[in-house]
Structure 1
């Protein structure tokens, strides 16, 4: 009887060990010593058009202790995320989540894989976007092709701060300017345009300008012909451009930003400058601008989140869709961090965890981003590999 009883105990002990060995285990970003039971979520991030996959999106869940489990979509939009079992929300965001984000309620079961239908994993536009029509550039065509919307505003609308403050993003196309019939015909003679754009960015609005639209940033007439051109709201010591570019193919360009390269799936490309007199960047401040695309150390695409204007009035910028959300820098293991947008109701717990307000990229947390490209979506439409780069710009402003 004693031997039989011992055999039963050994059998039960062995069974318990084997069951424990089959459990799925994962660690949250915040606490590598915590063991939790997980399932897996898989899917493909898509643009709103339902056909364009989106690379570089962050996909994450937050548990009851405000610990974040995250991954990124690859260049084909695919993702796979191990996350704790139970009821949760799957978040999909680009650009920190301020302008594009999707939330999907989901129940995760231990050791099971859930596949999210592509119809549910579309990236939703929450920003209000506007563009000024140009003569040589049509960024609005790419926006529309992705399934998103942007409102056309005029050069004269840029003089109305109340008008532009309702938008989160403004696209300034190459060749956009006023007309003789409406008064001012060029940015350089209109200080009000520069003042309003400065206030817009300083309060969190984001700008994209291309090629000749550099005049909105650093000054010039319809375009920038010399360094220290009159006008502008970006100091001349931060950026210098001249319209000395000639038409032709720029071969062997490099995508120098690793996140951008991973999102689009390539790190080299040829850029067709089929219009002459395009703006070449002569000098820039590397502590202010980040270079994303270049050729032999010549910047072709730059961005910044460091703009400040201490004299600008503090005004609300952006849409009501963002009122209950805030962008934070979430701390994860090994001293690294990620930028995400959360509901403001959970901020206190994130703050207690050590997170900070604003993006992780540094600079002024109240400032929006400024992207500038020497190339653009010109009227001929033959832009090749520059198109996915411009798609990335749209989704990450």
Structure 2
């Protein structure tokens, strides 16, 4: 009997030691990396990082203001990693069994390699396509943009189809010849066709596009309601009337229209992560949480009011309009149906080869717009 008890104690002790050794060897490993735009340079903050083992989610996190993340307390197994900011994504596999004399698997920079379907409508004054191109939404072999560019001045009906890459006055100011319109339809055909609109996940309406097709803004309303994302700046506000119900929802636009006269302002940045992103990645100082916004038209569209329960404002600064001097919010995002909208009273003009502070702001807000749909999915 005593012998049996001794053997039982030895067996229990062996099990205990085995369990203790397993615990000591588990949870000691980490995976780190940095999520960046397709150019491999610009960090993407607040991106969703998900780690799977055998198809089961085991850990998730968000990237920080420098695009960095770390997943720790992992066992030495094989994993699948997915990182996304809306529909801007990348994925990879990680085998921690490959680690030798190290406890952290450093993936370094992981650029976006899966893109949403994007359409940009050209305008005389806003060149958001330059920003998209410069962050790497471009075929590295051919130099062609990985998004469709639609001539914002082309509203005439036609019976024949034109080839892409035609030149127009709407792109005359662009620095990059690769950013001419590259599809076989113009803005008139585009906005009149729910089928064409539905081909895209994100649509960009540059300031300075043709403003004679606003009666088809109901198609844009349906596009956003059904899950699309819409960027519109300054004079393109006229295409938001169906979404805002003439100012009853989200935003109301000041009348007389295009009465903004300030060419520059020191605007308060209302998001701390954006402040950190500018400072840490681009050495853009944000003293007292303010930045210089100097890319207004001489007659820009003022937002009169916004609904703080449905709209997120991004910037706030003193401006002049219609003989009035007061502070106004200058950029907004809001959800609408299953989609979302970004509207800004200022925009990019991209007259320099280097990205300006305003263009960095727009870059950041474009990714925030892209991430809005995730909130409702």
- Does TM, normalized by the shorter one, top 0.5? yes
- Once residues 375 and 211 of structure 1 are traced to their aligned partners in structure 2, the CA distance between those partners, rounded to angstroms, is 6
1:201: how far off?
0.8
Pair 79,255 (structure 1): closer, same or farther in 2 beyond 3 Å = same
Aligned to 1:186: 212
C-alpha deviations, 1:90-117, integer Å up to 9, x for none?
111013xxx2111102223497211114
Decide whether aligned partners of structure 1 residues 88 and 20 sit closer, same or farther in structure 2, where only a CA change above 3 A counts: closer
Give the distance between the partners of 1:134 and 1:384, measured in 2 at CA.
Answer: 19
Contact conserved, 1:167 with 1:205, CA < 8 A, in 2?
A: yes
Unpaired runs of 5+ in structure 1?
Answer: 26-37, 178-184, 219-231, 308-363
Using the TM superposition, give the Cα deviation of residue 18 of structure 1 relative to its aligned residue in structure 2, in angstroms: 7.7
Instruction: Find the aligned partners of 1:66 and 1:379 in 2 and give their Cα distance.
Output: 45
Alpha-carbon shift at residue 142 of structure 1 (Å) = 0.6
Structure 2: gaps of 5 or more residues: 1-5, 138-145, 151-185, 281-285, 319-326, 371-377
Pick closer, same or farther for the CA change 1:68–1:172 going to 2, 3 Å.
Answer: farther
Describe the superposition over 1:301-343 as per-residue Cα deviations: whole angstroms up to 9, x where unpaired: 11111x2xxxxxxxxxxxxxxxxxxxxxxxxxxxxxxxxxxxx
| 8 Å CA contact retained: 2:65, 2:273 | no
Alignment partner of 1:168 is 2:168 = no
Aligned-pair distance for 1:260?
Answer: 4.0
Is residue 2:353 matched to residue 1:384? no
Instruction: From the superposition, tell whether residues 379 and 21 of structure 1 become closer, same or farther in structure 2 (CA, over 3 Å).
Output: closer
Partner of 2:90: 102
Distance in 2 (CA, whole Å) between partners of 1:68 and 1:290 is 32
Distance 1:174 1:69, change over 3 A: same
Match of 1:253 in 2: 268
Match of 1:210 in 2: 233
CA contact (8 A) 1:292 1:302 kept: yes
The aligned counterpart of 1:283 is 305
Alignment match, 1:145? 134
The C-alpha deviation readout for 1:239-260, integer Å capped at 9, x for no partner, is 122323223331142233x454
Q: Report how many residues are paired.
A: 293
Report if the CA contact (8 A) 2:53-2:78 is conserved: no
In structure 2, distance between residues paired with 1:68 and 1:394: 30
Partner residue in 1 for 2:187: 155
Check 1:216–1:84 CA distance in 2 against 1; reply closer, same or farther (3 A cut): farther
CA RMSD of aligned residues (A): 3.3
Q: In the TM superposition, what are the counterparts of 1:1-397 in structure 2 within 5 Å?
A: 19=21, 22-25=24-27, 39-64=29-54, 66-82=56-72, 83-95=74-86, 99-109=87-97, 112-118=103-109, 121-148=110-137, 149-153=146-150, 154-156=186-188, 157-177=190-210, 186-187=212-213, 190-191=214-215, 193-218=216-241, 232-235=242-245, 236-238=247-249, 239-242=251-254, 243-256=258-271, 258-264=272-278, 265=280, 267-295=289-317, 298-305=328-335, 307=336, 364=337, 367-381=338-352, 384-396=356-368, 397=370
Question: Structure 2 length normalisation: TM-score?
Answer: 0.68
Deviation at 1:298, TM superposition (A): 2.8
Q: How big is the shift at 1:287?
A: 2.1
